[in-house]
Amino acid sequence: MNLQGPSQKNRTFQVRELISVENSPELLTFKFKYDNILIWPFVRHMVLQGAINEMFSLKNPHAKIGKQSVVDLLRYIYTTVTKSPFCIDKKTKTDILFFSSGIVNVKEDDKYVNRIYDDFAFEYADRTLIIEDSCRYRYYHPRNFSKVYYHDLISLLVFPGSFLKKTCRSDEVAIEGLISYLKNNFVYKFQSNFWNEARRVLHKVSSRLPRLHKLYLKLFNNIRPKIIFLEDANYGRKSYIIKWAKDLRIITAEVQHGAILQEHPAYNYGDAVFKSEYVNYLPDFYLSNGKFWSDSLTTPSKAINIGNPYLSNKLANFQRNRTGDNRYKLLIISGGTAPESLMNLMQTVLNILPPQDFKFIFRPHPSEMPFANSRYKYVIENKIEFDRDSLYKTLEEVDGVLSAEFSTAIFEAAIFGKDVYVLKTPLFTYHYSKEIFNYFDTPQELYKLVTDRNKTKCDPKILLDSNWRSNYRSFINKVVYDLE
């Protein structure tokens, strides 16, 4: 069985080795001139994840943005302007503000639900707003939670300046200083084209910071939130939002979005970070789905076990849905980054598990959906069913889940009590070494596990705290309103 192993260019470095570059405070001496802002946060995840991607030859799971029709483009521009954050009435009481991506929306009962934030928003509906990014230049309507505005206008307003404004000399020196430091001290050695891309990213940030600062100050002064939640805040790409909110003494937080394991580069920090001004670029709190995830973090953000309302609601309404087909239904899940390894696994599965006893269903990663047919021609050629439905609806119909990659879906399957089988690849064990699933190395091991119906060893209760409502209200009442 062909495992997804590290490339031959470099040896494999664990995340603790990669973030050792942060053990020296010198890394944090490189700053932009504007507002004395640290440079490292804006390329941190790019550097760390870039090393992992190269070590394991990982693919990009995200589809490219296709051509927009004139009608769609006009609709996008109209909504971007008329539903921008600057259209929010100053009289609107907004204590709680969520910054969200658009990709987390799902359609249910003819309305779009933000599966990460809607349930939290409804708890204090009269005091909560969501500011959401478009998804591939598209907005989703109608909405379940109606008080949603769109973030894109800020990016559009600063976009021209990134071309017209040259990077100042002091920023050029600081950017080159950081890149030179990383070349000499980062354990993984990139080719020059990687550092050219890092330069491009940092020059873009440099040119946009002054305009971004004015716009976010205007936004925060208009609606005066007491707390903001920024999606993927620990990734650092929009760390200026956290910094400028903290400058105004606004509480900052991040809600868990996806699986966070012990080797996740965005949620592990070197020693110097904890004692430095870098903490001003990271959220005060991290609201996790449960104890398992909180224990996986090594970040200055304080972890709070809250739960996941959308997942809890799906679990409460979960019903086993068997059709007349009595075969064992096995859902094969893609993580989007190792399609070749997954195809090898599928070939193995089809060879060892008899079709008269097993039905196979294949689910691409959500970001792969637009090009799944071209990437996974093998699935179509072998007449394997494609799953494009809600994951939770599919979990009602299947018996087990199989994956060769690190994926949030396998943990959700475990929460729903499904048998979970994972190919023990170097990539998966890199992220998580404890044996909480049914791991296998060979086709024979997989056959024995599936035919013996081995149950997952993971306790669902540590993955998902079921008391999300009381936990969230307790957190808001204590942290925002100073109520015990």
Predicted confidence (pLDDT) per residue in 409-446, tens digit: 999 999 998 999 988 888 877 877 667 788 888 888 88
What CATH architecture applies to the domain 317-463?
A: 3-Layer(aba) Sandwich (3.40)
Minimal CA–CA distance to 130: which of 92, 87, 85?
A: 85
User: How far from 308 is each of 11, 368, 461, CA to CA, in Å?
Assistant: 38, 24, 12
Whole-number Å distance between alpha carbons of 18 and 282: 19
Strands 385-386 and 358-363 turn out to be: parallel
Minimal CA–CA distance to 127: which of 173, 86, 93, 88?
A: 93
Helix (H, G, I), strand (E, B) or coil at 299: coil
Cα of first residue to Cα of last residue in the chain, in angstroms, is: 56
Exposure class string for 114-135: b at 16+ Cβ within 10 A, else e: bbbbbbbbeebeebbbbbbbbe
- Domain residues of the chain, as ranges? 11-59+66-308+465-484, 317-463
Largest CA distance in the chain: 71
* Contact (CB, 8 A) for 435 and 442: no
Whole-number Å distance between alpha carbons of 170 and 188: 27
- Give long-range contacts, CB 8 A cutoff, 24+ apart: 78-82: 79/139, 79/150, 80/134, 80/150, 80/152, 80/153, 80/156, 81/153
> Using alpha carbons only, what angle is made at residue 388 by residues 132 and 122, rounded to the nearest 5 degrees?
35
Whole-number Å distance between alpha carbons of 58 and 243: 32
Minimal CA–CA distance to 263: which of 395, 434, 107?
A: 434
Whole-number Å distance between alpha carbons of 253 and 233: 8
Classify residue 268 by its DSSP letter. Answer: B
In the β-sheet with 328-333, what is the strand arrangement from edge to edge? 385-386, 358-363, 328-333, 400-403, 419-423, 438-440
Query: What pLDDT shows up at residue 155?
Result: 94
User: How far from 37 is each of 40, 175, 210, 376, CA to CA, in Å?
Assistant: 9, 12, 11, 44
Neighbouring residues of 236: CB distance < 8 A, sequence distance ≥ 6: 41, 42, 44, 45, 266, 281
- Rounded to 10 deg, the angle between the 339-352 and 443-451 helix axes is 60
Q: Which tokens go with 171? A: 């920023």
CB atoms within 10 A of CB 12: 16
Does residue 142 have a cis bond before it (omega within 30 degrees)? yes
CB atoms within 10 A of CB 326: 9
| pTM, full prediction | 0.93
Minimal CA–CA distance to 102: which of 190, 234, 231?
A: 231
Whole-number Å distance between alpha carbons of 233 and 240: 10
Helix (H, G, I), strand (E, B) or coil at 222: helix
Backbone φ, ψ for residue 178 (5° rounding): -65, -45
Radius of gyration of the chain (CA): 23
* Contact (CB, 8 A) for 290 and 463: yes
Which segments in the chain show pLDDT lower than 70? 1-10, 61-66, 161-162, 322-323, 433-434, 457, 484
SS3 assignment for 25-91 = HHHHHCECCHHHCECCHHHHHHHHHHHHHHHCCCCCCCCCCCCCCHHHHHHHHHHHHHCCHHHCCCC
